[in-house]
Structure 1
Amino acid sequence: MSPNSNITPMDESNNYAKTSHSKIKIGYRPLPEKKFEARNSLLTDLFESNPHIKTILHVFIATLLSLFVNKVAHDYLEKGEIDLGFGLIHDGFGKLHVAICAWLLFFTTTCLCYLSFFIWARARMSLFPKSVNIKIWDTICLLPLPGYYVLSFRLAASIVAIFRLPQATAAIILVEQIRMAMKVHAFIRSNVPKVLNYKTHSEQHLTLPSFKHFLYFLFAPTLIYRDEYPRTSSVRKSFVMYRLLEILGVVLFYSFLLNRFLFPVYQDFGLRKFTWNEIIISIFESAIVGILILTSTFFLILHSVQNVFAELLRFGDRMFYKDWWTCTSFSEYFRTWNIVVHDWLYTYVYKDMYEIITAKNKTISRFAVFVISAVVHEWVLTHMFGFFFPALFIYFFFGGALLSFIKVSRGTVLNVLFWYMLAVGSGSLLSLYTLEHFARQNAPIQGNSFRDYCLPRWLTCDCIGK
């Protein structure tokens, strides 16, 4: 230190600390944000640009058609009647008027969330930044938000239980409630920090998102809020019609698979004794049905439905999934199977946990993502089926979560192994839930206790022999 310097050792220490702190800040890179850009869904590009891929689709459709014809011929020649599965669809989507009323209720409460945010933001911008009133106002307006989430989940579950809604209708209500809650959280999480960081008497101007922005986001096929998204120039009516036909076709295919290959195997469970060998063989035989249900669900929800809304709203970024079918690990599968939900979990759970709560701990942040995802999936199935049977939670959390930490190289053999594990897992889940459904239907519990609600009925109904 120079003799003429006015800097003391303490000052040097403070300067060093500041320099070190600034270096840490400069060296730290926040996790990347979601970037929207105009692009088609991967399957859309593949079907339009690659005739070989399109031919594979045609082969798949022809195979389904042959199965359908086989079903018709079998029913007519063996039973003298034809069961196309319309009865199952009718029963599954019963009481749709209740679902419509419930959806309108959820929509209204969601819009009230925007109104509450707008009132809070406008009032806050007029208050002095360091006044006590602003802290009281923040507490009054933002503290009830967790209560909204809890009440919305409780309301959806109560509607399903009170009206005894069939499974497909119940699924619509439960999934829509979750979707709207995720939208509200994304909107609040994206806009509240802007208001909190706004300085009342500064030269900067803060423009709050209009209700038009909020309404567009509410219906747009994304769970990440932005004021603006890439847009297409027009709506292609033929594109929408093809996607609607795909939706209808997949629903009919669901009914066909359940009626032809799954229900006949397990529908007598509870009426007669099954052997363990019979159950195990049936579970492994359900692997083909399981993988067909899984891929059909993907095609229905993540391709057809999302593209319908994207086209109608001229939403440009249609990367709702990636090439998950080429995966060799479950870690890659979870990141590419459902980009819509993955982006939300990454942005509002993993990223916030990593940057704000867990001090840059990736393991805890990833663990939190799996916990939330597993609990929400199980919550939907519990209220949809009307019983607690945490098979998916066990598979998802203890199987998928642990497997996601295993990194493997890419290769043909590993991709085949991945598909086999996916098929066996899907088939066994489908079989277990079907077993539990028919066990509770054919051998109902004489009581309504919480214990009976939670215990697996297929194991306690004395329907399995040696």
Structure 2
Amino acid sequence: MPRHLRPPHGPGKQFVNRRSLLDELFEVNHIRTIYHMFIALLILFILSTLVVDFIDEGRLVLDFDLLVYAFGQFPLVVCTWICMFLSVLVVPYTLFQLWAQSLIYVICVYFYLNQVRLIMKVHSFVRENVPRVLSWAKDKTSPGPVVPQFSQYLYFLFSSTLIYRDKYPRNPVIRWGYVATKFLQVLGCLFYAYYVFVRLCIPQFRISRGLFDLRAMVLCVFNSILPGALVLFLAFFAFLHCWLNAFAEMLRFADRMFYKDWWNSTSFANYYRTWNVVVHDWLYYYVYRDFLWISQKRFRAGAMFFVFTVSAVVHEYILAICFGFFYPVLFCLFMCFGMMFNFILHDKRKGPIWNIIMWTSLFLGQGVIICLYSQEWYAQRHCPLEEPSLLELLKPRSWSCDHRSPADIL
């Protein structure tokens, strides 16, 4: 491959046959006991809800209104996903194949897509294969350009990775019992999150709080740390472990390193690398390294800043779509405290005290996220705008919404 087309800093990600870390750790009885403790806490949440229903209503309510609200439009979601997937399946591959055969350069044809994960996959597919075709066009060492087969592209779209390769390590068989267990654990995490919000969040935030008050805000943040920590663990276990492992098992995808031992991190730099290896790999190879490649290995701080910006914008975009309002709390945490801690709590920080500092900062950040987004959620519903302007839509409603009753004010 010509020098100017080679990826920077050596070869890209190498896929090998390996299990997920929690699957190995759960074989140790001491670690599996922690899993049992979370199950016991879920049982207590369920019992608490049942007892409260009997005391207040004299019967079991079991309405699961929060889950119904969250998944009430599931058929619409499925239809939307099918349309997005078919567009990603057919259009980018067909355009790339036509471009490779005719050498007509098509720039950014896939940015019309409106789904983050599929955009990242299409970017990886194009980014990994364009240099190969350009190399063939320059050297003419083979009868035709090396275009991946459609089956390879289709497998990549479903695989539990964002880095395209023609081949991945594969397991010989599918353990369907393992797949069923992982999907049941995902379902259990959904009910777990439901009870966390119903028992720990909704009673706190649905009560009118009026305008901003420093004392109330401090109490809100600290009262939100426990549910925030539980939501963090549930999101990690449900998606990064159970969901990705279930699909990897069905596709016999053998490289299960979707995360590393992020809980042992003594620096935020290591935490960012190990919390979500799937996304980190994409950001590292296609944002950080490509930025250094374009800048000829200069501006490493600029490359890091660009990575944080891309990650913060994408995370905030996802939350804005899910919640239906714009409140850039997560963006500010990423760009301010996240980037600051990345340089302050760097890899030279070793020892237990730094792990304690990392966990303290992480829990506090989760409390801020749960508190501020929950307050804004209820403010959006208590104080709707009749004829909103662009400025009013961008301004957080919780800053000006005073929906206290006269009795509360007095």
TM-score, reference length from structure 2: 0.92
Task: Kindly provide the amino acid, as one letter, of the partner of residue 340 in structure 1.
Answer: V
Partner of 2:46: 68
Query: In 2, distance between residues paired with 1:203 and 1:194?
Result: 12
Task: Kindly provide the amino acid, as one letter, of the partner of residue 55 in structure 2.
Answer: L
Partner of 1:241: 180
CA separation of 1:202 and 1:394: change in aligned 2, threshold 3 A = closer
Contact 1:350/1:369 (CA < 8 Å) preserved in 2? yes
Partner of 2:238: 300
Contact 2:201/2:224 (CA < 8 Å) preserved in 1? yes
1:35 aligns with 2:25: no
Contact 1:269/1:442 (CA < 8 Å) preserved in 2? no
Q: CA deviation at 1:83?
A: 4.6
CA separation of 1:34 and 1:424: change in aligned 2, threshold 3 A = same
Partner of 1:315: 253
Residues 262-303 of structure 1, C-alpha deviations (whole Å, 9 max, x = no match): 011111337x66854233212211101101001110111100
Partner of 1:442: 382
Q: CA deviation at 1:422?
A: 0.9
1:347 aligns with 2:311: no
Residues 78-134 of structure 1, C-alpha deviations (whole Å, 9 max, x = no match): 34244556221111112222212211211122121101101111223xxxxxxxxxx
User: Structure 2 residue aligned with 1:368, among 306, 313, 323?
Assistant: 306
Task: Kindly provide the amino acid, as one letter, of the partner of residue 392 in structure 2.
Answer: D
State which drifts further: 200-209 or 392-401.
200-209
Residues 174-232 of structure 1, C-alpha deviations (whole Å, 9 max, x = no match): xxx11111010000000011111114773435431010000000000000000000000
Task: Kindly provide the amino acid, as one letter, of the partner of residue 122 in structure 1.
Answer: Q
Partner of 1:452: 392
Residues 249-270 of structure 1, C-alpha deviations (whole Å, 9 max, x = no match): 0000111111111011111337
Q: Secondary structure at the match of 1:71?
A: helix
1:47 aligns with 2:26: yes
Query: In 2, distance between residues paired with 1:95 and 1:29?
Result: 45
Matches within 5 A, 1:148-227: 148-149=110-111, 151-153=112-114, 177-199=115-137, 202-205=140-143, 206-227=145-166
Partner of 1:143: 107
Residues 21-49 of structure 1, C-alpha deviations (whole Å, 9 max, x = no match): xxxx9xx982552111000000001112x
Residues 302-355 of structure 1, C-alpha deviations (whole Å, 9 max, x = no match): 000000110000000000000000112211111100000000001111111112
Residues 56-84 of structure 1, C-alpha deviations (whole Å, 9 max, x = no match): 21122112212321222122223424455
Q: CA deviation at 1:357?
A: 3.0
Q: CA deviation at 1:415?
A: 1.4
1:395 aligns with 2:337: no
Contact 2:196/2:227 (CA < 8 Å) preserved in 1? yes
Partner of 1:411: 351
Q: CA deviation at 1:383?
A: 2.0
Residues 408-453 of structure 1, C-alpha deviations (whole Å, 9 max, x = no match): 5222222122112111110111110010010110121232211111
Q: Secondary structure at the match of 2:312?
A: helix
Contact 1:85/1:259 (CA < 8 Å) preserved in 2? no
Partner of 1:160: none
Partner of 2:88: 110
Contact 1:85/1:256 (CA < 8 Å) preserved in 2? no
Query: In 2, distance between residues paired with 1:447 and 1:227?
Result: 53
Contact 2:259/2:274 (CA < 8 Å) preserved in 1? yes
Q: Secondary structure at the match of 2:303?
A: helix
Partner of 1:384: 322
Contact 2:163/2:281 (CA < 8 Å) preserved in 1? yes
Q: Secondary structure at the match of 1:405?
A: helix
Q: CA deviation at 1:234?
A: 0.4
Query: In 2, distance between residues paired with 1:200 and 1:287?
Result: 57
Task: Kindly provide the amino acid, as one letter, of the partner of residue 342 in structure 1.
Answer: H
Partner of 1:10: none
1:428 aligns with 2:368: yes
Q: Secondary structure at the match of 1:195?
A: helix
Partner of 1:255: 194
State which drifts further: 181-190 or 381-390.
381-390
Query: In 1, distance between residues paired with 2:63 and 2:179?
Result: 25
CA separation of 1:60 and 1:309: change in aligned 2, threshold 3 A = same
CA separation of 1:427 and 1:410: change in aligned 2, threshold 3 A = same
1:87 aligns with 2:70: no
Gaps of 5+ in 1: 1-24, 125-136, 154-176
Partner of 1:20: none
Gaps of 5+ in 2: none
Q: CA deviation at 1:388?
A: 1.1
Contact 1:269/1:439 (CA < 8 Å) preserved in 2? no
TM-score, reference length from structure 1: 0.81
CA separation of 1:29 and 1:449: change in aligned 2, threshold 3 A = closer
